[in-house]
Amino acid sequence: MLLTPFADSQPLLDQPEALRARMERDGYLFVSGLLPEEAVEALYAAIMAICREQGWADADNLALGEPRLEGYPEWWAVYDSLQRLEAFHAFAHRPEILRLVEAITQEPVLVHPRNIARITFPGAAHYTTPPHQDYPLIQGTPQTYTAWIPLCDCPESLGGLAVLAGSHTMGLLPVHRASGPGGLSVETERFGLTWHGQDMRAGDLLLFHSHTVHRALPNVSERRLRVSADYRYQGVSQPVVEDSLMPHYGRMSWDEIYEGWQQEELKYYWKRLPVRITARNFEIMQPVETR
Ligand SMILES: O=C(O)CCC(=O)C(=O)O
Whose C-alpha lies nearest to ligand 1, atom 10?
134
Please give the average per-residue pLDDT across 43-56, as a whole number.
Answer: 98
Please give the average per-residue pLDDT across 225-241, as a whole number.
Answer: 98
CA distances from residue 178 to 130, 183, 185, 249, 288 in whole angstroms, order as listed: 7, 5, 6, 19, 12
Q: What is the pLDDT of residues 92-102, one digit of tens each?
A: 999 999 999 99
Sorted by where each begins, the domain ranges of the chain are 13-290
As a whole number of angstroms, the distance between CA 238 and CA 140 comes to 8
DSSP state of 252: S
Pocket test for ligand 1, best of 28, 129, 233 (most atoms within 8 A of CB): 129
Please give the average per-residue pLDDT across 40-60, as a whole number.
Answer: 98
Give percent of the chain above pLDDT 70.
100
Paired sense of beta strands 176-177 and 161-164, if any: unpaired
Helix (H) or strand (E) holding 97: helix 95-105
As a whole number of angstroms, the distance between CA 121 and CA 103 comes to 35
pLDDT of residue 115 exceeding 90: yes
Handedness of CA 2, 4, 10, 12 (dihedral sign): negative
CA distances from residue 246 to 116, 136, 253 in whole angstroms, order as listed: 11, 17, 8
**How far, in Å, is the centroid of ligand 1 from the Cα of 15?**
27
Residue type at 224 in one-letter notation: R
Cβ neighbors of 189 (< 8 A, separation 6 or more) are none
pLDDT for position 205: 98
pLDDT for position 71: 94
The beta strand positions in 133-283, using DSSP E, are: 144-150, 161-164, 176-177, 184-185, 195-196, 205-209, 214-216, 226-235, 239-241, 276-278
Pocket test for ligand 1, best of 137, 206, 214, 248 (most atoms within 8 A of CB): 214
Question: Which atom number of ligand 1 is nearest to the Cα of residue 228?
Answer: 1
Pocket test for ligand 1, best of 128, 133, 148 (most atoms within 8 A of CB): 148
Give percent of the chain above pLDDT 90.
97
Q: What is the pLDDT of residues 140-170, one digit of tens each?
A: 999 999 999 999 999 999 999 999 999 999 9
Cβ neighbors of 228 (< 8 A, separation 6 or more) are 117, 118, 120, 148, 149, 150, 151, 154, 161
pLDDT of residue 1 exceeding 90: no
- Is the CB of 148 within 6 Å of ligand 1? yes
Look up the pTM and report it: 0.97
Predicted confidence band of residue 77 (pLDDT cuts 50, 70, 90) = very high
**How far, in Å, is the centroid of ligand 1 from the Cα of 216?**
7
Please give the average per-residue pLDDT across 60-81, as a whole number.
Answer: 97
- Is the CB of 221 within 6 Å of ligand 1? no
As a whole number of angstroms, the distance between CA 134 and CA 268 comes to 24
DSSP state of 161: E
pLDDT for position 287: 94
Q: Please provide residue 165's backbone torsions phi and psi, each rounded to the nearest 5 degrees.
A: -60, 130
pLDDT for position 290: 80
* CATH ID of 13-290, from 2.60.120.620, 2.60.40.10, 3.40.920.10, 3.30.450.40: 2.60.120.620
pLDDT for position 122: 97
- Is the CB of 129 within 6 Å of ligand 1? yes
Please give the average per-residue pLDDT across 200-228, as a whole number.
Answer: 98
Whose C-alpha lies nearest to ligand 1, atom 9?
230
**How far, in Å, is the centroid of ligand 1 from the Cα of 231?**
10
pLDDT for position 134: 98
Please give the average per-residue pLDDT across 210-236, as a whole number.
Answer: 98
pLDDT of residue 46 exceeding 90: yes
Cβ neighbors of 38 (< 8 A, separation 6 or more) are none
Predicted confidence band of residue 276 (pLDDT cuts 50, 70, 90) = very high
pLDDT for position 224: 98
